[in-house]
Amino acid sequence: MTALVLGHKNPDTDSIVSALSATYLYRARGIDAVSGAQGDPSPETAFVLKRFGLKAPEVVHSVEGREVYLVDYSDLAQAPDDFPKCRLLGIIDHHKLGDVTSDYPLECWIQPVGCSNTIVKLMYDYYKVEVPKDIAGAMLCAILSDTVLFRSPTCTPTDIRAAKELAAIAGVDDIEALGIEMFKAGSNLDASPRDLVFRDYKDFDMNGKKVGIGQLSLISLDLITPELKAQLAAELKEVKAEGRDTVLLVLTDIMKEGSELLMESDDADIVRGALKPDANGWMAGVMSRKKQVVPPLQLAFKA
């Protein structure tokens, strides 16, 4: 049976590229595998795929009866709805350990680094498989995306070392320039408010409450007009009404190294107490949903 290598819902660059890079590695190890994605590429990811001549994975929403490797997540909320009907073979992830389970032993690579593709690079090294030039370039971009050009507090020396090694393989001389070009492409706001909210979005179970957190990373928040911000705020109300206790949109300014918080919540005081935005919603230094938003919120909802 051909195994499916699958990233999370509302896929970001790391999710899609890690599916591609891990699939190549699995095949090099003699494992029959194909990559998949639970959605189309975002503008940022589309830029990366085009820049390095790669094809987007097939969009997959059902895994019933299939063998599956997960990349970039281990939470049921981010998996296909029929995930319990598949056989889980392995996980590659850099987030907290989620709630997926398996009836069989797993191959798990979970490390506290800034990007899943950093872990995939470690796997290539471990199995002594050469990274192809095109895949190396995409993996480099995934690391730059997840670590926000190494500015995120999630970034580790391992991420930086992997990025430099991948840049050498891909023939990229100016890593910073490539990252800026990528983020400019990702700053495209020509989409509906709903698509922008869900461009990089995840649902979490926090002490029995469904909390959705989207993140929109832009070169500058000046790109967001007052009209668009009002539309985004209105869309958060619609998303919350779909069965969530709280919905957040973290608007990250890459160059200013901080984020503005938009929120619709039944527990606004809990959210504010956990994230501590100023009167205008600004959170200085906040760049990472994984490290600076989710953990304090989980602790606050447990209190």
> What is the tens place of the pLDDT at every residue in 222-236?
999 999 999 999 999
Helix, coil or strand: residue 220:
coil
The predicted-structure confidence for 46-84, as pLDDT tens digits, reads as follows: 999 999 999 999 999 999 999 999 999 999 999 999 999
* Residue 303 confidence (pLDDT): 79
Q: Domains of the chain by range and CATH?
A: 3-184 (3.90.1640.10), 193-302 (3.10.310.20)
How confident is the model at residue 79, as a pLDDT?
97
Contact indicator for 271, 263 with CB cutoff of 8 Å: yes
b/e per residue 94-113 (b: at least 16 CB within 10 A): bbeebebeeeeeeeebeeeb
- Give the number of other Cβ atoms within 10 Å of residue 205's Cβ: 15
The rounded mean pLDDT for the chain is: 96
What pLDDT is recorded for position 43?
94
For residue 11, the model assigns a pLDDT of 96
Q: What is the mean pLDDT of residues 182-192?
A: 94
Distance of alpha carbon 270 from alpha carbon 279, whole angstroms: 15
Q: Is the C-alpha dihedral spanning 172, 174, 177, 183 positive or negative?
A: positive
pLDDT by residue (tens digit) across 192-226? Answer: 999 999 999 999 999 999 999 999 999 999 999 99
Rounded CA-CA distance 287/244 in Å is 24
How confident is the model at residue 262, as a pLDDT? 98
Instruction: Write the CB contacts of 294 (distance below 8 Å, at least 6 apart in sequence).
Output: 96, 204, 213
DSSP string of 236-263, one letter each residue: HHHHHTTT-SEEEEEEEETTTTEEEEEE
Q: Is the pLDDT of residue 157 over 90?
A: yes
Q: Tell me the pTM.
A: 0.88
d(CA 226, CA 73): 34
Residues 95-107: tens digit of each pLDDT: 999 999 999 999 9
Helix/strand/coil percent split, the chain, to 5: 40, 20, 35
pLDDT above 90 for 31: yes
Strands (E) across 14-150 are located at: 33-38, 58-59, 67-71, 87-93, 107-110
Mean pLDDT of 32-47: 97
Share of the chain above pLDDT 90, in %: 99
